[in-house]
A = this chain, B = another copy of it.
Amino acid sequence: MSRFRLAVVGAGRAGTVHAINARRWLGDAELACVVDTDAEQVRSAGAELGVPAFASLEQALAGDVFDGVVVTTPTFTHAELAVQAAAAGKHVFCEKPMALTVEECDEMTAAAAAAGVILQIGFVRRFQPEFVEAKRRIDAGEIGEPMIVKSLTRGPGLPPVWAHELARSNGMLAEVNSHDFDCVRWLAGSEIERVYTETANVKGAERGVEAADFYDNAVVALRFASGALGTIDGTCPADVGYDARVEVLGSEGLLVVGEHRATALLEIRTRGSGEVPTYASWPQRFEWGYREELRGFVAAAVGGYEPQVGPADGRAAVAAVVAANRSWLEGRPVELGEAAVP
């Protein structure tokens, strides 16, 4: 039985995580090649992983070397790459955020539909066991109707330079909190209807960020179409590690998802003080989910299923992020249904 061949586009951090998983932990798939416009970086990645390296998706598409592509490049390149891959008949796994605008999302969606290929978005939490189980319980009615849905993400380090500018990245709410916007919508079982955002820039200056519209802290108050309320908060850089947790209070119960402790270990070496390992990074926090989502992508592509996280999910998160940024910029609550808001 031949294995599904994956090309990973983008030899940065996310690309490396996916490439290693494809190489090492999938029985039904294999890593076919890596692609990056940085010639040195991609040559090194290819050598390390033992697969061919290409300087562009175009070159990789020239030979019939892969069946599906994993897009992990900067956000502003997603639409072009995804459309190009789909047009060539390749299944597409696209990292979050799906794109910069809902218009781009619509182009990508149309391209995949036209080509008859899968377009899966990298909302990895939907494959992480505790999140999956939470969703199952909510859908089973265990906690009644969601009333309050809260989600947060904190990342340890400064985002890459291209992500400092709002115009090229939609800022931290997109780069970091996209996961939360998707997650609260998924768990609430309802679309986000209104957002209000407060932001702060605490460490930008001292870390050499020059972008004028940079922020590294945000809180967002949410109202869902169902009438449920919510909050999202994000901080990046948080320095002390990666943190992603969700809480859903329903009319009949509470679900707390995720915790700080990374490993079932407690060490006490000082009188009166114990130490627990916590999450240092997102690859560690969602190590299990990253393997599962890639396996899910392969299964959907091979089996011809709808992916578990599709383009409509990606688009909804982009719309919410755009509205949340607008709320901040205009100092007022913003309805997602407003004419000028996508």
A interface residues, Cβ below 8 angstroms from B: 1, 22-28, 30, 50, 129-130, 133-134, 137, 142-143, 145, 147-148, 150, 154, 156, 194, 196-200, 202-203, 217-223, 227-231, 233, 235, 238-241, 243, 249, 251-280, 288, 291, 295, 331-333
Contact = CB atoms under 8 A, between A and B. Distances in A.
B240 A254 contact: yes
B264 A259 contact: yes
A222 B235 contact: no
A83 to B, nearest CB: 30
A200 B324 CA distance: 20
Contacts of A198: 194, 196, 221-223, 229
B274 A261 contact: yes
Contacts of A199: 229
User: In this complex, which of A196, A267, A280 has the most chain B Cβ atoms within 10 angstroms of its Cβ?
Assistant: A267
A275 B260 CA distance: 11
A133 B261 CA distance: 14
A272 B262 contact: yes
Contact of A133 (B203, B277, B288): B277
A273 B266 contact: no
A74 to B, nearest CB: 25
Contact of A279 (B231, B240, B272, B277): B272
A36 B288 CA distance: 32
23 contacts: A25-B27, A130-B263, A133-B265, A145-B202, A147-B202, A147-B235, A148-B217, A148-B235, A150-B231, A154-B249, A196-B333, A197-B221, A198-B221, A217-B229, A219-B222, A239-B251, A240-B271, A241-B271, A255-B265, A261-B274, A275-B275, A332-B332, A333-B333
Contact of A221 (B219, B238, B241, B270): B219
A202 B227 contact: yes
Given A25-B25, A150-B233, A202-B251, 17 more contacts: A25-B27, A27-B27, A130-B263, A133-B265, A134-B265, A145-B202, A217-B229, A218-B229, A219-B221, A240-B253, A240-B271, A253-B268, A254-B266, A254-B269, A256-B265, A260-B266, A332-B332
A259 B247 CA distance: 13
A235 B146 CA distance: 12
A330 B84 CA distance: 48
Contacts of A241: 268, 271-272
Contact of A267 (B137, B200, B263): B137
Contacts of A267: 137, 142-143, 253-256
A173 to B, nearest CB: 13
A19 B265 CA distance: 30
A240 B150 contact: no
Contacts of A218: 229
B265 A239 contact: no
Nearest to A157: B271
Contact of A147 (B156, B200, B251, B260): B200
A133 B263 contact: yes
Contacts of A253: 240, 267-269
A259 B259 CA distance: 11
A293 B26 CA distance: 16
Contacts of A276: 266, 273-276
